[in-house]
Amino acid sequence: MAEAVFRAPKRKRKVYEHYESPFPIPFGQDHIPKKEFQVYHAEMMDNNVIVRNAEAIEQLYGKGYFGKGILSRSRPNFTISDPKLVAKWKDTRTSMPIITSKKYQRSVEWAAELLCRQGQEESAVHSILQDYTKPLEHPCLQREKETHLQGELNSGVDPNMEGPVGREKLSVMNGDSGESDEVENLSNQSAYPQEGSGQDAVTANGSDGLMVEGVAPLPHVPCGHHDDLILQHGSQPKDSWRTGLFSARESGSAHEYVLVEEVVSDVSMGKDAPSEESVQTKRLICRRNPYRIFEYLQLSLEEAFFLVYALGCLSIYYEEEPLTILKLWKAFAAVQPSFRTTYMAYHYFRSKGWVPKVGLKYGTDLLLYRKGPAFYHASYSVIIELIDDRFEGSLRRPFSWKSLAALSRVSVNVSKELMLCYLIKPSTMTDQEMESPECMKRIKVQEVILSRWVSSRERSDQDEL
């Protein structure tokens, strides 16, 4: 058997991020993990392990590329904003998502359907959604109008009229003396549309179980470029769970408020026009999102167990109770019968510096990446087999020559090498010993690179020699 030749990984053409760290734990100057680090929270749901906290998602994926977003291709960066609208309204300084009117109406329809399935009457559903989705004042856009109007007024004002005395003269000249306090109060009310509205945690139409979440006053944040007021999401306690109108989520940036591009009809009177003309313009209307969709990080069972067992930076809960390492080992094996075999190989390759990912799309158990999927294409497609040292017993995935040749051809066509990873256990190891992850200490690993022999290529190589 010839010795395999290592081939350099194929780097991707466009790389949009930089490499941070191989693991989501801090390292000291001596490249040794520090003793104190943050332990992240995950939960087991429907035979899957998910992470909800936004900070934990960023750390686990950004440092080691663990898991994937449930709504994204890989990195969990899903957003409901329309890219074309974001580019169109780029001058609008806001952190809120911008969506089309059609997309917003779809969210309203989903919310109505959900309420009807909960037993609400159609009239009550219409009343609830009509009150919940009513337009709100967007301070950013309002501030632009006020700044523009103030600029027009200041353009014709003497510079000596600055300061309190000048402002009094300006008020008298404009005929609005004594109204400045009222205007200020109105602007404050528009900037805080939810304050004192009487909608804080009240039931809608007396319906049982349907809770309208109280919206806190939205903070004012001055923009350094235009000095506009940006409407931001209200903050929530870090470890608390709050139930919204149609969603529940741990702390994080929830798109509760959105900007909807809607067609608004403006009625203008022309000097020469005998009748009124209706001109349709598109504006951004601030509304509450009735049906919010959240991005979570989904971990494979191998990734989740590695973070718990090997790194100790993750704690997995099931029905609000933390699961021990031994319970996780047994639970994951019950959910996925091949878990013990695939995890041993996963642990081995992670320890060697590779980033293993599920290889289902290429018909294998694992794909091995250097640094991560963002930087390189996968180098190896891995088939895993657990055997004893006497090479006896049935294989987990028996191959015929035809199926093996087909799998090898697929791997070559996608610029990957096919690797057979044999996990060799002692023949004296019992099934009871396999009930604990400590059995991995007695496992040996043998890697075999399978390559296709091409007669024409071999003849050309011989001719060159």
For residue range 252-296, what is the model confidence (pLDDT) as tens digits? 345 688 999 998 865 554 555 455 455 678 889 999 999 988 889
Which residues does residue 40 pair with via DSSP β-bridges, in sequence order?
Answer: 314
The backbone torsions φ and ψ at residue 413, rounded to the nearest 5 degrees and listed phi first, read -65, -25
Radius of gyration of the chain (CA): 31
For residue range 71-91, what is the model confidence (pLDDT) as tens digits? 888 888 888 889 899 999 988
Residue 176 has pLDDT above 50, yes or no: no
Top pLDDT among 455 and 312 is at 312
Is residue 332 within 8 Å of 42, Cβ to Cβ? no
Residue 3 has pLDDT above 90, yes or no: no
Task: Say which amino acid occupies 182.
Answer: E
Distance CA 73, CA 51 (A): 17
What percent of the chain has pLDDT above 90?
45
pTM of this prediction? Answer: 0.69
For residue range 187-210, what is the model confidence (pLDDT) as tens digits? 333 333 333 333 333 333 333 332
pLDDT at 73: 83
pLDDT mean over 223-250: 34
Structure tokens at 299: 């971990």
Top pLDDT among 308 and 168 is at 308
Instruction: Enumerate the active-site residues.
Output: 369, 377, 416
Top pLDDT among 161 and 172 is at 161
Question: Among 304, 238, 430, 265, which residue's Cα sits nearest to residue 47?
Answer: 304
The backbone torsions φ and ψ at residue 251, rounded to the nearest 5 degrees and listed phi first, read -55, 145
The backbone torsions φ and ψ at residue 426, rounded to the nearest 5 degrees and listed phi first, read -65, 145
Q: Read off the pLDDT band of 146 (50, 70, 90).
A: low
pLDDT at 167: 38
Dihedral angle computed from the Cα positions of residues 308, 312, 315 and 321, in that order, rounded to the nearest 10 degrees: 90
Question: Among 22, 70, 26, which residue's Cα sits nearest to residue 375?
Answer: 22
Q: Read off the pLDDT band of 147 (50, 70, 90).
A: low
> 3-state DSSP helix/strand/coil percent for the chain, to nearest 5?
35, 20, 45
Residue 20 has pLDDT above 50, yes or no: yes
pLDDT mean over 357-377: 94
For residue range 88-135, what is the model confidence (pLDDT) as tens digits? 998 888 888 999 999 999 999 999 999 999 999 999 999 999 999 999
Question: Among 298, 334, 250, 288, which residue's Cα sits nearest to residue 49?
Answer: 298
CA angle 205, 206, 210 (to 5 degrees): 90
For residue range 58-70, what is the model confidence (pLDDT) as tens digits? 999 999 999 999 9
